[in-house]
Amino acid sequence: MLTSEITKFVEKTTARTKSPISMEKEFSIRPLSKAIGATIKGLDLNNINSTQIRLVSEAFLKHQVLFFENQSLDPKKLFELASKFGEPVEYPFITNKTEIPEVMEVIKRPDDKENFGGLWHSDTSYLKTPTKGALLYAVETPEIGGDTVFSNVCKVFDSLSEEMQIFLSRLSALNISDKASDLDIRPKSNSTSFKASHPVIRTHPETEKKLIYVNEAHTANFVGMTQAESEPILDFLFKKIKEEQFSCRFKWEPGSVAFWDNRACQHFPINDYQGHQRKMLRISLAGCEPF
């Protein structure tokens, strides 16, 4: 959330011009859609100072996902950048490690049929303490295709009727790492499986907003209910999360960075670039147990 000082600055700037909001004349923030996402221009992530870190952190909570262009990062620099916003942690299914254990390569080669994480999901919801967020850096991208869509699950919750909100707030859901629909989009070399139960309606630990915390890739059923009993309601929520009104879509270019709040949004990498290669660097940040 913006501090009172920044809020006053934004109000003055907005009243004067309809151009993107300029923060300290060093970089600008432009919302990507009404629901979620913002692009940040004029900021070199290799030389980010304490004031910029604070402003980016505030924008992160406000917009759920931030996009940066024309950056130049390697595994070491990505780790150093991520460390300014939280505690980097290893992804549980890493198969393509770099020299930095917390940084993994995500590569879809021209002959690969499936893409990593190719379902709507919230990262690592099958862990007792899912990640706070992640940074993804584009090294190589296809000329056409390979976009990622993000959805604001706080707004999804707000769109539900009061009775549905109350009903869902009483439930917990089981999240598993080896859900059948997820097996084809996961590295095959790690046979470890994880499972964790979390509230269906989660409270964001920083903004205190309520949000939907079930996802297509990992949520199996409601605790205390069978899969058959759970399926109709889960399918309704999964479809709701995919609605365009809650989303934004980002087109990757080499040098692009996405920094998303894994608690407040879900994402879906589109698999529409068969025959072309896409190479990314990814790092996750430690989170807390959902409540």
Q: What is the domain-level CATH number for residue 41?
A: 3.60.130.10
Q: What angle do CA 81, 86, 87 make, to 5 degrees?
A: 100
- Amino acid, res. 278: R
Residue with tokens 């999240």: 175
In a domain, 12, yes or no: no
In a domain, 234, yes or no: yes
Residue 138 has pLDDT above 80, yes or no: yes
In a domain, 5, yes or no: no
**183-to-93, 117, 188, 191, 193 alpha-carbon distances in Å:** 12, 10, 8, 11, 11
In a domain, 8, yes or no: no
Cα 256 to Cα 137: distance, rounded to the nearest angstrom: 6
Per-residue pLDDT, 96: 79
Residue 274 has pLDDT above 50, yes or no: yes
**pLDDT tier, 220 (very low <50, low <70, confident <90, very high otherwise):** very high
Residue with tokens 């869509």: 149
- Report the predicted TM-score, pTM, of the whole model to 2 decimal places: 0.87
**271-to-50, 72, 132, 218 alpha-carbon distances in Å:** 37, 25, 25, 19
In a domain, 21, yes or no: no
> Which residues are within 8 A (CB) of 253 and not within 5 positions of it... i.e. 6 or more apart?
69, 138, 141
In a domain, 1, yes or no: no
Per-residue pLDDT, 157: 98
Query: What domain count does the chain have?
Result: 1
Domain region containing 30: 26-285
Name the percent of the chain lying above pLDDT 70.
Answer: 87
Per-residue pLDDT, 13: 35
